[in-house]
Amino acid sequence: MKQLLYEVKKCLGCRSCEVACALAHSLSGDLYKALDEEKLSMPRKKVLACGGKNYPVSCRHCEDALCVDACMAGALVFDKQKGQVLHDAERCVGCWMCVMVCPYGAIRPDIKDKMPLRCDKCKDKDEPACVKACPTRAVIEQEKAEVKK
Amino acid sequence: MKQFVIIGNSAAGIAAAEAIRKADKQSAITIISDEDYPAYCRCLISYYLAGQVLVDKILYRPENFYKENNITLLLNKKVERVDPKKNRLVCVDKAQIPFDALLVATGSSPKFPEVKGIKKENVFGLRTIKNATEIAERLPMTKTACVLGGGLVGLKAAYALSKRNIDTKVIVKSKQVLSQMLDFAAAGFVQRRLVEHGVELVLGQDAVEIIGEGEIKAVKLDSGKAIGCELVVVGKGVKPNIELVKDTGIKINEGIIANNLLQTSIPNIYTAGDVCESFDITVQAPSINALWPVAVEQGRAAGVNIAGGNIIYDGSLGMNALEFFGLAVVSLGMYKVPDKDPSYEELVLDNPKEETYKKIVLKNNVIVGVILVKKISNSGVFLSLMRKKADVSVFKNSLLDDNFGYPAIKDLMPDKERIYV
């Protein structure tokens, strides 16, 4: 089970991760074509500056996730095997309860599609786009067990 | 092996059953419901009425949920009375059900105002899937409808009816919609959206009579005016379902009174959800917050404690997220300052041009209330500050900034930061 970590002192706040994330979730996956898409793809993470440092903020896939509890449509579930909070778009009605309760502010409402935007760890790809894109390797993907020691 | 019984098959009841089963694989769990449907997403029934959610997507848990968790589900069964002395339930059909521990999660029912004609056919509450189905069945014969009440249920009903091309008017006693969760300014944004999309609002007037012999003809207002309609939906708030514990020794006020273990005044009887009167952490007083996430939270805590655990439940707070015609709004806690009380402070950012509005209510530098219109992403960050009663004076000046977020508050949180290394 892998999780995303951020080495804050390496983060320059260049937002390459944001761009890569938006691109990875666009229809075409190509930067120039993506800019032309009818609905501009939005990043699932956001870099916030605070106290002279930069912090990439995105879904942490909490095991006791408040968003899962709050979801009145049963569209969010924590999948133990994958170690991820999964979202069922077919069940989701865009009520924004998940946005309301996420203590990290890591879920953004996509008003047009009535869908919450949150990190899916680039589910179909071998490595999350943000990890690949970070020029200073501030975004790290690591096994969860390694973190605990 | 014990016998655990849960009355109520919605958010609180299901969360409790799951929590009990997680801790105790052996004991018997029985869930009793007076509805004829397995657990469903109650808050989605307006979407179902609008035709935006199909009935198979409204189930809260997979069909095999009860079997898989070894839970006995009794549908269409109404409990008449709890008998704490004999540790048993007496049902309307005279059946008796014994228990070692009981959870009363009976929820609430729509309040119907005492106006003439309110008992007529085609006057509906909107609480159950049955209500929604009955309303839907009337729609082919309906052109116009009135909704009584401008709260969340009333507006969701109006939204659904207008989506089904019914000419709908909402009659609101107050001078604004959503007066229980928004201030006048924030309500204005919602009202403009509704009106733009064809939902007519009649503000500052109350219904006094529903006119018609048999069929409904009109709703008469206190102004003397009458509004023609064939169907009425009542959204005037809810009242907790406490009849079955009245005069049993279980202490009640507006709802069933719970301690911080979610026990009632009888230790082996617990309560959770819309019927449970627990503690409001922003108002600092006993209160009912009849909300889905609160019911889940309370149900889980009650379930853990029923199974022998020890979760201290420190209380809930009023919170709601809503969206009408593309405008997202969040309201948390005390959304306005109690009558000119100087010990409160308000931070406001009002931008009608961009349709954004942010308001933060503070008391002694602790956030006690928030309203966000359109830009709602940060609401969970504010919510955790409210729950922790954190002193925000260090970053008070940046609370309304778009760039304010979790990094600013992370050092105030009790859990060790795990992902920023």
Residues of A with CB under 8 A from a CB of B: 3-8, 46, 48-51, 53, 55, 57, 60, 66, 69-70, 72-74, 90-91, 93-97, 99-109, 111-112, 114, 140, 147
Rounded to the nearest 5 degrees, what angle is found at the Cα of B27, between the Cα atoms of B24 and B32? 110
* A17 and A30 inside one domain: yes
What residues contact A18, with CB distance under 8 A and at least 6 apart? A43, A45, A46, A47
Element (H, E) at B383: helix B379-388
Domain match, A38 and A51 both? yes
Rounded Cα distance, B232 and B174, in Å: 19
Same domain, A48 and A18: yes
Looking at the structure, do residues A84 and A132 belong to the same domain, yes or no?
A: no
At position A15, the amino acid (one-letter code) is R
The residue-averaged pLDDT of B118-123 equals 95
Amino acid B339: pLDDT: 83
CB-based contact A105 B407, cutoff 8 Å = no
- Compute the average pLDDT of residues B271-289: 96
Q: Are residues A67 and A51 in the same domain?
A: no
Q: Which of A50, A100, A140 sits opposite B408 (nearest CB)?
A: A50
| Contact status, residue B9 vs residue B33, Cβ threshold 8 Å | yes
- The H or E element that residue B344 is part of is strand B344-351
| Cβ–Cβ below 8 Å for A72 and B418 | no
Q: What does the mean pLDDT of chain A come to?
A: 92
Closest of B186, B95, B129 to residue B10, by C-alpha: B129
pLDDT score of B218 more than 60:
yes
> Average pLDDT in the B287-295 region?
96
Cα A48-A50-A55 angle, rounded to 5 deg:
45
Q: What was the pLDDT predicted at A143?
A: 86
Structure tokens at B369: 């209330």
pLDDT of residue B414: 77
Highest mean pLDDT (candidates A37-46, B49-58, B101-110)? B101-110
Q: What is the mean pLDDT of residues A39-61?
A: 95
> In B87-225, where do the E strands start and end?
88-91, 96-98, 101-104, 108-110, 123-125, 144-148, 167-172, 200-203, 207-211, 218-221
Contacts of A109 in chain B (CB under 8 A): 323, 328, 376-377
- For residue A100, what is the domain's CATH number? 3.30.70.20
Shared domain for A74 and A53, answered yes or no, is: no
Structure tokens that stand for B102 in this block: 């009981």
Please give the torsion angle defined by the CA atoms of residues B129, B135, B137 and B139, in that order, rounded to the nearest 10 degrees.
-140
CA-CA distances (angstroms) from residue B300 to A51, A67, A101, B134, B313?
Answer: 38, 15, 17, 32, 10
CA quadruple B293, B289, B57, B59: dihedral sign: positive
pLDDT tens readout for residues B316-333: 999 999 999 999 999 999
Q: What residue ranges define each of the domains in chain B, with the CATH number in brackets? A: 3-43+58-109+240-306 (3.50.50.60), 123-234 (3.50.50.60), 334-412 (no CATH)
Same structural domain, A52 and A4: yes
Give the nearest partner residue to A5 out of B61, B383, B419, using CB atoms.
B419
Cβ neighbours of B185 (radius 10 Å): 16
User: What's the mean pLDDT in A10-29?
Assistant: 95
Q: Residues of B with CB below 8 A from A147's CB?
A: 418
**ipTM of the predicted structure?**
0.94
Give the SS3 label for residue B328: strand
d(CA B194, CA B190): 6
pLDDT tens sequence across B141-156: 999 999 999 999 999 9
pLDDT band with cut points at 50, 70 and 90 for residue B340: confident
Do A18 and A42 fall into the same domain? yes
Checking DSSP bridges between strand B238-240 and strand B108-110, what pairing results, if any?
antiparallel
Alpha carbon A105 to its chain's center: 11
Q: Which of B288, B284, B291 is nearest to B334 (CA)?
A: B284
In this model, does residue A148 exceed pLDDT 50? Answer: no
Does pLDDT of B123 surpass 60? yes
Structure tokens at B125: 């509450």
Give the mean pLDDT of B273-280: 97
Q: Which domain holds residue A19?
A: 1-58+125-149
Task: Report d(CA B404, CA A126) in Å as an integer.
Answer: 33
Scored b (16 or more CB within 10 A) or e, A68-92 reads bbbbbbbbbebeeeeebbebeeebb
Confidence of residue A149 (pLDDT cuts 50, 70, 90): very low
What digits encode the pLDDT tens for the residues A114-141? 999 999 999 888 899 999 999 999 999 9
| The predicted structure's pLDDT at residue A123 | 86
Number of structural domains, chain A? 2
The predicted-structure confidence for A83-100, as pLDDT tens digits, reads as follows: 999 999 999 999 999 999
Check whether residue A53 and residue A82 sit in a common domain. no
Q: What does the pLDDT average to over B176-184?
A: 96
State whether A53 and A67 are in the same domain.
no
Are A97 and A137 in a shared domain? no
Judging by DSSP bridges, how do beta strands A46-50 and A53-57 pair with one another?
antiparallel
B43 is catalytic: yes
Report the pLDDT averaged over residues B7-29: 98
Please report residues of A whose CB lies closer than 8 A to that of B303: none
Residues B346-359: what's their mean pLDDT? 95
Residues of A in contact with B300 (CB under 8 A): 69
**SS3 state at B297:** helix
Do A143 and A101 fall within a single domain?
Answer: no
> Are the beta carbons of A100 and B380 separated by less than 8 Å?
yes
Q: CA-CA distance, A18 to A130, in Å (whole number)?
A: 7
pLDDT at A1: 80
- The model's pLDDT over B192-212, given as tens digits with 9 standing for 90+, comes to 999 999 999 999 999 999 999
- Within B4-98, where are the H helices? 11-23, 45-49, 65-68
CA atoms within 13 A on the CB side of B297: 20
Q: E strands within B99-246?
A: 101-104, 108-110, 123-125, 144-148, 167-172, 200-203, 207-211, 218-221, 226-228, 231-234, 238-240
Mean pLDDT, rounded, of chain B:
95
